[in-house]
Amino acid sequence: MTTHQETHFTGSAMVRDVVIGMSDGLTVPFALAAGLSGAVDTNDIIITAGLAEIVAGSIAMGLGGFLAAKTEYEHYDAELNREHYEIIHFPDRERQEIHEIFESYGLSNESCEKIVDELEKDKDKYAEFMMKFELGMDKPDTKRAKKSAFNIGIAYIIGGVIPLTSYWFTTSPRDGLLWSALMTVICLFVFGFVKNRIIKQNPWKGAMRVTVIGVLAAATAYVAAKLIGG
């Protein structure tokens, strides 16, 4: 007998972190390097400024991911406490809410009553059930904040180094910019392709989307830098 194996993707949180870090890492340092390429005569200044931006950017992005994850957990915890309060002080209303949830799936009133009776035996499970099916909130990982900060920060560094690489191997900012643009576009395309392959979506569509968004973001930042710099 052939056994069916589930193949659902379960690493969406990590992929989201990598997408955030890598996409910004590829575009922001490139835009900075591109803007400086038209204002300075040597690659050393571009490399120094680019590395400084990568360090600052990775810390800022990582901190942003940390705070976002902490806020998510704190919000979940606050809502969970509220559910515990409602279960104790408004039991009839909570029972009615469970009836509405299961009746929407076609269960009879008798079946709903049996389910509620079972849930009421364990108030913690009852509250978790309401969090998931009433509010649509899954319990976040308590270690998620540190993981998110690390994933985003490292992804930003990796993405940020790529646009700067060409300036180490060229003799002028103009040549460095041309190679940097080529490398950044290729990496954006590959990144989008691999990302969609991982989440089992159309890889070509993902590659084009990430590339177009990245190029537009970099071009906008480059034009702004040129205008501000005169």
In a domain, 62, yes or no: yes
End residue of a domain, out of 104, 133, 162: 133
* 9 confidence band (pLDDT: 50, 70, 90): very low
- For the chain, what is the domain count? 2
Same domain membership, residue 204 and residue 91 = no
Instruction: Encode burial over 17-51: b for 16+ CB neighbours within 10 A, e otherwise.
Output: bbbbbbbbbbbbbbbbbbbbbeeeeebeebbebbe
Same domain membership, residue 107 and residue 61 = no
Same domain membership, residue 162 and residue 211 = yes
In a domain, 66, yes or no: yes
* 157 confidence band (pLDDT: 50, 70, 90): very high
pLDDT tens figures, 62-91 = 998 888 888 888 888 888 888 888 878 877
Check residue 8 and give its pLDDT: 43
In a domain, 1, yes or no: no
Same domain membership, residue 88 and residue 107 = yes
Same domain membership, residue 198 and residue 148 = yes
Q: Return the closest-CA partner of residue 100 out of 87, 91, 112, 85.
A: 112
pTM of the model: 0.73
Same domain membership, residue 220 and residue 157 = yes
In a domain, 5, yes or no: no
Check residue 56 and give its pLDDT: 93
pLDDT tens figures, 205-227 = 878 887 887 777 767 766 776 67
End residue of a domain, out of 108, 133, 158: 133
Of residues 15 and 158, more confidently modeled: 158
- Which amino acid does the sequence have at 31? A
Check residue 167 and give its pLDDT: 92
Residue 215 is given by DSSP the state H
N- to C-terminal Cα separation, the chain? 72
Check residue 161 and give its pLDDT: 92
Of residues 196 and 10, more confidently modeled: 196
Check residue 10 and give its pLDDT: 44
Q: Mean pLDDT over all residues of the chain?
A: 80
pLDDT tens figures, 109-154 = 777 778 777 777 777 787 787 777 777 777 777 778 888 889 999 9
Torsion 182-188-191-194 (CA) sign: negative
Same domain membership, residue 161 and residue 63 = yes
In a domain, 7, yes or no: no
Please determine, for residue 4, whether its predicted confidence score (pLDDT) is greater than 60: no
In a domain, 89, yes or no: yes
Please determine, for residue 98, whether its predicted confidence score (pLDDT) is greater than 70: yes
For 151, the token pair is 């994933």
- Domain of 209, in residue numbers: 12-70+144-229
pLDDT tens figures, 12-22 = 677 788 888 88
Same domain membership, residue 66 and residue 91 = no
In a domain, 196, yes or no: yes
In a domain, 160, yes or no: yes
